[in-house]
Amino acid sequence: MQKKSLLVALLLVLTSGCAVIPSPEAIGPFPNDYKEIIMDHILHTYFDPYSIRSASISYPVRGHILFQQGWIVCLESNAKNKMGGYIGLRRTAYLLHGGSVVREASNAPLCEDSLVYYDEWPELEQIK
């Protein structure tokens, strides 16, 4: 019994160091230009950014991906893959910090949450 209690206490101490405690300095200022930041990232990383359909974007919220903090923006969109076919609606979380995307996570639980509200983003569908 004593060994079990000691093991539990040790695990709690070890895992408590993994918690991310938000701080304003680590998160950075609110990204007023978040749509422009995401659009620029998409233009440089998507296989066919001009094929995007059904685009919706969330408002930035404070958060983290892995151990990096910043502002998370969720994007829902449908785009073509390398085979030329549409992949279906996908949700991706983008972590913004210092005016750029520093991390992204496909199918992030935050973006699947029913409390996340998406606004249509027709401007992304009209990029040329």
If you write DSSP's letter for every residue of 81-122 in order, what string do you get?
A: -TTS-B---EEEEEEEETTEEEEEEET-HHHH-TT--EEE-H
Per-residue pLDDT at 108: 85
114 within some domain: yes
121 within some domain: yes
73 within some domain: yes
16 within some domain: no
Per-residue pLDDT at 21: 66
Tokens describing residue 16: 């408590």
1 within some domain: no
Whose structure tokens read 């404070």?
62
Structural domain harbouring 43: 22-125
d(CA 127, CA 123): 7
SS3 percent helix, strand, coil of the chain, rounded to 5, is 35, 35, 35
- CB distance 122 to 90 below 8 Å: no
11 within some domain: no
Number of domains in the chain: 1
- pLDDT tens digits, 39-91: 999 999 998 999 999 999 999 999 999 889 999 999 999 999 999 999 999 99
Q: What is the pTM of this model?
A: 0.80
95 within some domain: yes
5 within some domain: no
18 has a pLDDT exceeding 60: no
